[in-house]
A and B are shown apart, each in its own frame.
Chain A
Amino acid sequence: MWKFTVRRLLITTPQIILLSAIVFILAKMMPGDALTGLIDPTLSQERIAEMREKLGLNNPWYIQYRDWLAGVVQGDFGQSFKYQMPVTELIWQRVINTFWLSLVSTIMIYAIGLPLGIVSGRYNDRLIDQLITGYTYLGFATPVFIFGLVALWIFGFMLGWFPTGGSVEPGLEPGTFEYILSKLHHLLLPSLSIALIGTVGTVQYLRSEIIDTKQRDFIITARAKGAPERRVYNRHIFRNSILPIAAFFGYEIINLINGSIFIEQIFSYPGMGNLFIESIMLRDYSVVTALVLLSGILAILGALLSDIILSVVDPRIRIK
Chain B
Amino acid sequence: MSKSLLGKFLFVLMLASMLLIAACNSDEGSDTPDDGGEDNTEDTTDDGSDDGSEDDGESSDDKKEEDTDGLYSIEDFSTSTSNDGELIDGGEITYGLVSDTAFEGTLNWNFYSGNPDAMVIQWFDESLLTYDENYTITSDGAAEYEVNEEESSITFTIRDNVNWHDGEPVTAEDWKFAYEVISHPDYQGPRGSTVGFTLLEGMQDYRDGNADTISGIVVEDEKTITFNYERLTPSLLTGGIWGYPLAKHIFGDMAVADMASSDAVRQNPIGFGPYKVDSITPGESVTYVKNEDYWRGEPNLDKVTLKVISSSTVANALETGEVDLVDSFPVDQFPDNSNMEGIEWLGDIDLAYTYIGFKLGDWNKEESRVNYKPDEMKMGDVELRRAMWYAVDNNAVGEKFYNGLRWAGTTLIAPSHPAYHDDSIEVPTYDPEKAKQILDDAGYKDTDGDGFRETPDGEPLEINFAAMSGGDVAEPLAQYYLQQWQAVGLNVGLLDGRLLEFNTFYDRVGNGGNDDPAVDVYMGAWGVGYDVDPSGLYGPTAMFNFPRYESEENTELLEKGLSDEAFDTEYRQQVYSDWQKLMVEEIPVFPTLYRSVLIPVNERIANYDISVGSGVYLYELGVTSQD
Contacts and interface: CB of A to CB of B under 8 A. Distances in A.
A39 B511 contact: yes
A141 interface: yes
Contacts of A171: 278-279, 285, 287, 305
Nearest to B320: A157
Contacts of A244: none
Contact of B308 (A37, A142, A165): A165
Contacts of B52: 40-42
Contacts of A36: 503, 506-507, 511-512
Contacts of B49: 42
A160 B544 contact: no
B512 A134 contact: no
A166 B21 contact: no
B250 interface: no
A147 B20 CA distance: 12
B316 A42 contact: no
A239 to B, nearest CB: 30
A265 B260 contact: no
Contacts of B278: 171
A127 interface: yes
B316 A164 contact: yes
Contacts of A277: 101
B31 interface: yes
Nearest to A165: B309
Contacts of A167: 281, 284
A113 interface: no
Given A170-B281, A267-B310, A42 B189 contact: no
Contacts of A37: 40-41, 502-503
B266 interface: yes
B7 A130 contact: yes
Contacts of A281: 36-37, 39-40, 502
A42 B192 CA distance: 8
Contact of A39 (B53, B194, B285): B53
B188 interface: yes
Contacts of A266: 310, 312-313
Contacts of A152: 313, 316
B282 A93 contact: yes
A130 B6 contact: yes
Interface stretch (A3-11, A81-89, A202-210): A81-89
Interface string B500-513: 01111011000110
B317 to A, nearest CB: 6
Interface residues of A, number: 65
A267 B307 CA distance: 12
B50 A42 contact: yes
A265 B100 contact: yes
A9 B489 CA distance: 66
Interface in A59-91: 82-86, 89
Contacts of A269: 284
Interface in A89-104: 89, 93-94
A165 B18 contact: no
Contact-residue size bin, chain B (C-beta under 8 Å from the other chain) = 35 or more
Contacts of A89: 261
Contacts of B18: 138, 141
A154 B305 CA distance: 24
B33 to A, nearest CB: 7
Interface in B25-75: 25, 28, 31, 33, 36-37, 39-41, 43, 49-54
Interface stretch (B103-111, B159-167, B589-597): B103-111
B479 interface: no
B542 interface: yes
Contacts, number: 199
Contacts of B309: 165, 268
A125 B279 CA distance: 56
Contact of B307 (A82, A170, A275): A170
A247 B315 CA distance: 43
B25 A146 contact: yes
Interface stretch (A13-21, A43-51, A218-226, A312-320): A43-51
A246 to B, nearest CB: 30
Interface stretch (B9-17, B143-151, B385-393): B9-17
A149 interface: yes
Contacts of A275: 102
A166 B307 contact: yes
Contacts of B194: 42
A22 interface: no
Contacts of A93: 282-283
A32 to B, nearest CB: 3
Contact of B284 (A38, A85, A130, A268): A268
A85 B49 CA distance: 24
A282 interface: yes
A278 interface: yes
B114 interface: yes
A43 B193 contact: yes
B23 to A, nearest CB: 10
B113 interface: yes
B536 interface: yes
A149 B28 contact: yes
Interface string B436-473: 00000000000000000000000000000000000000
A130 B10 contact: yes
B569 interface: no
Contacts of A146: 21, 24-25, 28
Given A42-B194, A268-B308, A281-B40, A164 B284 contact: no
B368 interface: yes
Contact of A166 (B10, B281, B312, B507): B281
Interface in A169-190: 170-173
A93 B284 CA distance: 12
Contacts of A86: 261
A267 B53 CA distance: 30
Interface string A262-276: 000111111000110
A153 B285 CA distance: 21
A232 to B, nearest CB: 25
A283 interface: yes
A150 interface: yes
A131 interface: yes
Among A89, A131, A165, A266, find the residue whose CB has the most chain B CB atoms closer than 10 A: A165
A168 B284 CA distance: 9
B495 interface: no
A161 interface: no
Contacts of A41: 50-53, 536-537, 542, 544
Contacts of A166: 281, 284-285, 307-308
A164 B190 contact: no
A84 B283 contact: no
A40 B7 contact: no
B283 A270 contact: yes
Nearest to A152: B313
The list of the 3 closest CB pairs from A to B, nearest first, reads A41-B536, A39-B54, A32-B503
Given A42-B53, A268-B308, 10 more contacts: A31-B501, A36-B503, A36-B512, A44-B198, A47-B190, A134-B14, A141-B18, A164-B317, A166-B285, A265-B100
20 contacts: A36-B503, A36-B507, A41-B536, A41-B537, A41-B542, A42-B50, A44-B198, A82-B104, A125-B3, A130-B7, A134-B10, A138-B14, A149-B28, A153-B316, A157-B317, A157-B320, A165-B307, A171-B305, A270-B102, A282-B40
